[in-house]
Amino acid sequence: MDLDQKREKFTQEYSDLFEYLYRYVSVRLGHRHDAEDLVSDIFIKSYTRLADYEPDKGSLRQWLTGIAKNEILMHWRRKRPLVSLEITDDVMGSAHDPHPSQLVDNQMLAEKIFSSLPPATKALVALRYVEDLSYEELSDMTGKQVPALRQFFSRLHRALRLEFSEMYDEPTTL
Amino acid sequence: MNNNPFHHLIEREESHVQVDQQLKSRLARKLKISQQKTWSMKPFLGFAFAGALVLIIAFSIKNPHSLIHEGTDDWQYQTDKNDERVMNKVQGVSSPQLYNPLSRSNFFGAAQDSLGKISGKSSPVPVPSSVQSAELGFSTGGAKDIGNFRENINNGYLPLPTDVTYEGLFYDYSFDTGKAEACNELFCPSYARAIARDPLSGSDEYYLSVGLNSNIKESDFQRPKTNFVVVLDISGSMSSSFDQYYYDQFGGRVEVSGREANKSKMQLATESLQALVDHVRPDDRLGIVLFSDSATVAKPLRLVRDTNLIKLKQHIGELGPTGGTNMSAGIEEGTKMLQNREGGNDGYANRLIFITDAMPNQGEFGAQGLHGLAQKNAEQGIDMSFMGIGVDFQSELVEALTKVRGANYLSIHSAPEFKKRLGEEFDFLVTPMVYDLKLNLESSGFAIDKIYGSPDADLSSGNIMHVRTLFPSKTENGETKGGLVLIKLRKTAEQPNATLKVSYEDTKGGQHANTASVSFEKIMVGSYDNLGIRKGIVLSRYAELLKQWLSGERGVLYDDMKPMDNWERTSTPLRVSNPYQSRFQMFREYLRNEINAIHDSKMDQEMKILDKLVSLAPVLPPGGGPIPVPMPVPIDDWKNP
């Protein structure tokens, strides 16, 4: 595939790629304005470096995701967004001592815990459990100490065990 | 790990993200790619070709010049890349003969009292529409951010108290204005009440917010045709890198190692000017004046559609810094260009846009003298915008200069960010729509104590609030960017009622008025009519605390240090003396609670600043006394007998 063909492919897929990447970056940064800047940068960079794209190794989407992931990590290191490692006690309380109605629908509890996290903290969760970053990498990005990060994820696990105990590999991943 | 619960939750989070379609289109245009899928276009190529042909013919009939010439390259400023004076950016050597096109006498020839009157300024066209579209609100003039404060903190420098402005901080946020019904006039204020306990003093404070609403639909807003004259600072101080001071703490120049250092202010300025060129329209006029020791016309005022913009951007990119900073010469030359323009009284609006670090040291550089020039321009219908560059941007001077009708300023941190901001706000930033807003509080129970969110607080006294200018501002999800002015009330008697009489002037000189009533009866401490006033209160308290801290620090420093004779700003390391360490700690807890209540994650940036300030080692108070120790926590040692 020559450069013109790659450009044509990029043009054809632009709309879908933009929407995918916008969502991907927004959730992993937790900050809309920063995400918009970064998405613009990623598209401009990738379009100017389109010659480097090797179709044999994967789709454009995969290639862009790789670039985006790198840019996200660099952004975190550069900007050090404020990340709260607190899970509010009332949410934790309901996890430890579930009301019978909550036991009926533990999915709601999981969602409640997740939705109580600030955007930057949700982003941290995405980076840990979707992007598989290590605690050391997260510590490098956020400036938080590894033990503090471990404690945060441990609390999160305990709270979520109710819903996901069967599929959960918590002890090995901590 | 693929089956872990977070995949599901994060996928759902992604699906809830609302994609910014405008950004998508802007980016597509920038990359010059079509968002249409090409496979779907093939069957229609014949029709598309025919349609395009019709459009080209129609366009060429309407604009006969557009297809046969690419516009005039009317750049007059000679940049010699090999000229030692131009290359010597670090030293900022004074070189008064550098400018070749016009003699020095021309620059200063026009006496202030010979300034001709410019009238017939055109007005924006707000046409009320029945079409469903987002309505705009308003924001006040003055500062449009506190970027310079943030940059100084980020880079470990002590900001100036004037780097923090209430209106600048408010414009960083959007506010629920409390608008309850459709607005039928150009300006429809809405009011909200609150009684809030101050986290530091513990006193209960009465507040009234004025929501800045309009009847203008975003889709109906049209910026008037405008004569833009950009006045670009190319003085030696523009050679320093963006995140460093040109002068160190003792007034010595900082040696900047040229291109290998971070991007210079000059680069940022020229890139920003190139970005600005993209936002003028074919029927605007654009002129460019450069100033250092003196001022010169680099590009005469000309219709944009007759100008070769590609060449213009190339010329801008070749500019380098040199010489001193004669800002008054820049103002005078820019004003002269607008006065002597072709077309005379043709209904165009007029705006001077300064891109500068605002450190004048030559010509007229007294605040009153420069303010006088700005004031005279405002009276003639020449509005001014300042775009400040660098951590050493002199906000103290520009704050004074923009206390005139129709003026505002913002700071530039990075070219991409500036481009983005221009894309979103350029038309709003250059289009004043309401003048001389006055609010008269008639009450035997309350008086105005303080105004937050307006640069014109000094004009307010007794029971009158005065705001010189309102600019249109974007409203999204019922919240208007900077759309609030907050009034702190002083209770004078047990009489809960007040009448609010508002008057203002539109751009055609028409006078308007309206009246409303509010009552604080049965309002409890800790109650807020809406989250907009709550956000306004916490932000104004935050800004007030920062200003007190900075004034305190600067007061201590000025005792030990002789300030420089002009506006050149010296660097001072970031420091926090007691009692502000403990005040910041207390305020941080309050801010955290308020952020949780208000649900505006953007406010986390203020938490981050307080975190940084609290983490600094405390500085000994004046006189070298011991640092006050926080009061120990009382012990509960009660023992049951």
> What is B33-64 written as a DSSP string?
--SS-HHHHGGGHHHHHHHHHHHHHHHHHH-T
Query: Is residue B123 within 8 Å of residue B507, measured between CB atoms?
Result: yes
User: Rounded mean pLDDT of A88-110?
Assistant: 51
Q: Which of B190-199, B351-360, B576-585 has the lowest mean pLDDT?
A: B351-360
* Separation between Cα atoms, residue B386 and residue B410, nearest integer Å: 6
- Cα of A80 to nearest chain B Cα, Å: 9
* pLDDT number for residue B247: 59
Contacts of A7 in chain B (CB under 8 A): 33
pLDDT band at B623 (very low <50, low <70, confident <90, very high): low
User: What chain A residue is nearest to B26 in terms of C-alpha separation?
Assistant: A40
Contacts of A111 in chain B (CB under 8 A): 9
pLDDT at A125 over 90: no
* pLDDT number for residue B44: 45
| pLDDT digit string, tens, across residues B418-450 | 887 887 889 999 999 999 999 999 999 999 999
Q: Does A107 touch chain B (CB under 8 A)?
A: no
Phi-psi region of B277 (alpha: psi -120 to 50; beta: other; left: phi over 0): alpha
More confident position, B242 or B27: B27
| pLDDT digit string, tens, across residues B84-121 | 333 333 233 233 222 222 222 222 222 222 233 333 44
* Separation between Cα atoms, residue B355 and residue B231, nearest integer Å: 6
Choose the closest CB to A47 out of B31, B601, B605: B31
Interchain CB distance below 8 Å, B35 and A163: no
pLDDT band at B11 (very low <50, low <70, confident <90, very high): confident
Q: Does A47 touch chain B (CB under 8 A)?
A: yes
Query: Is residue B191 within 8 Å of residue B118, measured between CB atoms?
Result: no
- Cα of A118 to nearest chain B Cα, Å: 7
Q: What are phi and psi of B87, to 5 degrees?
A: -70, -25
Q: Which of A130-134, B194-198, B597-601 has the lowest mean pLDDT?
A: A130-134
- Cα of A67 to nearest chain B Cα, Å: 17
* pLDDT number for residue B482: 96
Query: Is residue B518 within 8 Å of residue B206, measured between CB atoms?
Result: no
Chain B 366-405, CB below 8 Å of chain A: which residues? Answer: none
pLDDT at B551 over 70: yes
* Best CA proximity match to B353, nearest among B409, B278, B395: B409
ipTM: 0.81
Beta carbon pairs, A and B, within 8 Å: 110
* pLDDT number for residue B123: 57
Choose the closest CB to A126 out of B10, B15, B601: B10
Contacts of B23 in chain A (CB under 8 A): 22, 36, 39-40
Q: Does A132 touch chain B (CB under 8 A)?
A: yes
* pLDDT number for residue B248: 57
User: Rounded mean pLDDT of B576-592?
Assistant: 91
In sequence order, the β-bridge partners of residue B609 are none
* pLDDT number for residue B236: 80
| pLDDT digit string, tens, across residues A6-33 | 888 899 889 889 999 999 999 888 887 8
More confident position, B479 or B42: B479
CA–centroid distance for A131 within its chain: 7
Query: Is residue B211 within 8 Å of residue B439, measured between CB atoms?
Result: no
Interchain CB distance below 8 Å, A167 and B37: no
SS3 B513: strand
Contacts of B420 in chain A (CB under 8 A): 36-37, 40
Phi-psi region of B267 (alpha: psi -120 to 50; beta: other; left: phi over 0): alpha
Among B9, B35, B413, most A C-beta atoms within 10 A, so best to mutate, is B9
Q: Does B593 touch chain A (CB under 8 A)?
A: no
pLDDT at B336 over 90: yes
Chain A 77-96, CB below 8 Å of chain B: which residues? Answer: 81-82
Contacts of B31 in chain A (CB under 8 A): 14, 43-44, 47
* pTM score, whole prediction: 0.64
Choose the closest CB to A129 out of B1, B24, B420: B1
Chain A 15-34, CB below 8 Å of chain B: which residues? Answer: 15, 18-19, 22-24, 26-27, 30-31, 33
Q: Does A50 touch chain B (CB under 8 A)?
A: no
Contacts of B13 in chain A (CB under 8 A): 27, 114, 122, 126
Interchain CB distance below 8 Å, A132 and B604: no
* Separation between Cα atoms, residue B90 and residue B96, nearest integer Å: 17
Query: Is residue B283 within 8 Å of residue B226, measured between CB atoms?
Result: no
Contacts of A26 in chain B (CB under 8 A): 14, 17
Q: Does B37 touch chain A (CB under 8 A)?
A: yes
| pLDDT digit string, tens, across residues B137-178 | 999 998 889 988 998 898 888 998 888 999 999 999 999 998
Q: Does A134 touch chain B (CB under 8 A)?
A: no
pLDDT band at B265 (very low <50, low <70, confident <90, very high): confident
pLDDT band at B631 (very low <50, low <70, confident <90, very high): very low
Q: What is the DSSP string of B234-294?
A: -SGGGGSBTTS-SB-TTSPBPPP-GGGSSPBHHHHHHHHHHHHHTTS-TTSEEEEEEESSS
Interchain CB distance below 8 Å, B1 and A173: yes
* pLDDT number for residue B563: 46
Contacts of B604 in chain A (CB under 8 A): 81-82, 118, 120
Q: Does A99 touch chain B (CB under 8 A)?
A: no
- Cα of A32 to nearest chain B Cα, Å: 9
Instruction: Give residue for tokens 């941290």.
Output: A124
Question: Tokens for B303?
Answer: 């219709």
* Separation between Cα atoms, residue B94 and residue B324, nearest integer Å: 6
Choose the closest CB to B19 out of A22, A30, A120: A22
Choose the closest CB to B7 out of A31, A110, A130: A130
Choose the closest CB to B611 out of A30, A82, A173: A82
* pLDDT number for residue B455: 84
User: What chain A residue is nearest to B172 in terms of C-alpha separation?
Assistant: A33
* Separation between Cα atoms, residue B20 and residue B426, nearest integer Å: 18
CB burial class (10 A; 0-12, 13-18, 19+) of residue B497? Answer: middle
Interchain CB distance below 8 Å, A37 and B417: yes
pLDDT at A152 over 60: yes
Chain B 400-459, CB below 8 Å of chain A: which residues? Answer: 416-417, 420
Interchain CB distance below 8 Å, B601 and A39: no
Q: What is the DSSP string of B52-110?
A: HHHHHHHHHHH-TTTTT---B--------TT-HHHH-TTTT---TT---SS-HHHHH-S
- Cα of B388 to nearest chain A Cα, Å: 21
Contacts of A10 in chain B (CB under 8 A): 33
Q: What is the mean pLDDT of chain B?
A: 78
Query: Is residue B176 within 8 Å of residue B531, measured between CB atoms?
Result: yes
Query: Is residue B228 within 8 Å of residue B284, measured between CB atoms?
Result: yes
Interchain CB distance below 8 Å, A130 and B6: yes
Query: Is residue B353 within 8 Å of residue B387, measured between CB atoms?
Result: yes
* pLDDT number for residue B561: 43
pLDDT at A86 over 80: no
